[in-house]
């Protein structure tokens, strides 16, 4: 089954998020085969979107979290509170969190451990900046990220671990690696994870996923699914990407 993760970032308000979630459910009802869909709205929209999704198989995700359950962390939202409002999945280490909030690989590691311990599925984002890509050093860069983030992490039966390969230079730019490069990176990620004794990880690609490239990405046997930003915040492109995913589900 292919996976579509919609990362709505800060692009939609509470009402818009609820409307789009309802639209997604309508589209899924009409599909012969249903892909796995995960919706990640802005924090204040989590309860209302969660209510809409409650009797469906569409899963509710948060865009980040704090690893602590409670405490003096102004402006943060704890993993425990996310669970209270029905969150099942959390995106951790997105490059925009790294850029804007100084998130480090070590910080991502701590959050992943906390998310899994609380029974949430974790979507871990990795990916290289442009200079590293241009220097031909992407594999080593992503390898080091995974080493720091996932070393010693145990993936139990209660939760799933996703690794989203999101090259920084592809996010929101309209530029993407070639399909071949994406497939090679996914193989490289799996090999790295096996050296860490981690199996069963779900591999996503993210970074300028659009209608134009969704077909080839979702038809690749190396890629389990897509993490979609900008194109997921519009009903027409999101539902079309879900439809493409359903052909492979």
Nearer to ligand PGA, 196 or 215 (CB): 215
Quick check: 183 binds ligand PGA (CB under 6 A)? no
Whether residue 163 contacts residue 124, with contact meaning beta carbons closer than 8 Å, is answered with yes
Minimum CB separation from ligand PGA for residue 46, in Å?
18
Residue of closest CB approach to ligand PGA: 229
User: Which structure tokens are listed for 184?
Assistant: 């090679």
Interface residues for ligand PGA in 184-243 (CB under 6 A)? Answer: 206-209, 227-231
Q: Pick the stretch among 56-64, 66-74, 136-144, 164-172 that binds ligand PGA (CB under 6 A).
A: 164-172
Closest CA relative to residue 176, chosen from 167, 185, 187: 167
Nearer to ligand PGA, 13 or 117 (CB): 13
Minimum CB separation from ligand PGA for residue 100, in Å?
12
Nearer to ligand PGA, 74 or 244 (CB): 244
Residue of 96, 128, 166, 183 with catalytic role: 166
Minimum CB separation from ligand PGA for residue 206, in Å?
4
Residue of 94, 109, 133, 186 with catalytic role: 94
Quick check: 39 binds ligand PGA (CB under 6 A)? no
Q: How far apart are CA 184 and CA 166, in angstroms?
A: 14
Q: How far apart are CA 225 and CA 209, in angstroms?
A: 11
**166 an active-site residue?**
yes
**188 an active-site residue?**
no
Site size toward ligand PGA, by CB under 6 A: 13
Quick check: 172 binds ligand PGA (CB under 6 A)? yes
Nearer to ligand PGA, 28 or 228 (CB): 228
Binding site for ligand PGA (CB under 6 A): 7, 166, 171-172, 206-209, 227-231
- Positions marked active-site: 94, 166
């Amino acid at each position: 089954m292919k996976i579509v993760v919609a990362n709505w970032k800060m692009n939609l308000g509470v009402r818009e998020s609820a409307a789009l979630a309802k639209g997604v459910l309508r589209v899924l009802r009409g599909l012969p085969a249903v892909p796995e869909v995960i919706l990640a709205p802005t924090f204040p929209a989590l309860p209302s979107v969660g209510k809409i999704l409650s009797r469906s198989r569409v899963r509710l995700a948060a865009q980040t979290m704090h690893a602590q359950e409670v405490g003096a962390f102004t402006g943060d939202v704890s993993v425990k509170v996310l669970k209270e409002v029905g969150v099942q999945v959390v995106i951790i280490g997105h490059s925009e969190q790294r850029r804007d909030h100084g998130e480090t690989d070590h910080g991502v590691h701590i959050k992943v451990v906390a998310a899994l311990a609380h029974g949430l599925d974790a979507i871990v984002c990795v990916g290289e900046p442009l200079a590293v890509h241009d220097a031909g050093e992407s594999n080593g860069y992503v390898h080091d990220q995974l080493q720091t983030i996932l070393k010693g992490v145990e993936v139990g039966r209660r939760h799933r671990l996703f690794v989203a390969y999101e090259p920084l230079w592809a996010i929101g730019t309209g530029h993407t690696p070639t399909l071949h490069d994406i497939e090679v990176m996914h193989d490289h990620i799996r090999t790295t994870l096996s050296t860490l004794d981690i199996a069963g990880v779900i591999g996503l690609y993210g970074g300028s996923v659009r209608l134009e490239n969704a077909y080839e990405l979702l038809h690749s046997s190396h890629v389990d699914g897509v993490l979609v930003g900008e194109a997921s915040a519009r009903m027409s492109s999101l539902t079309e990407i879900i439809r493409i995913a359903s052909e492979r589900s």
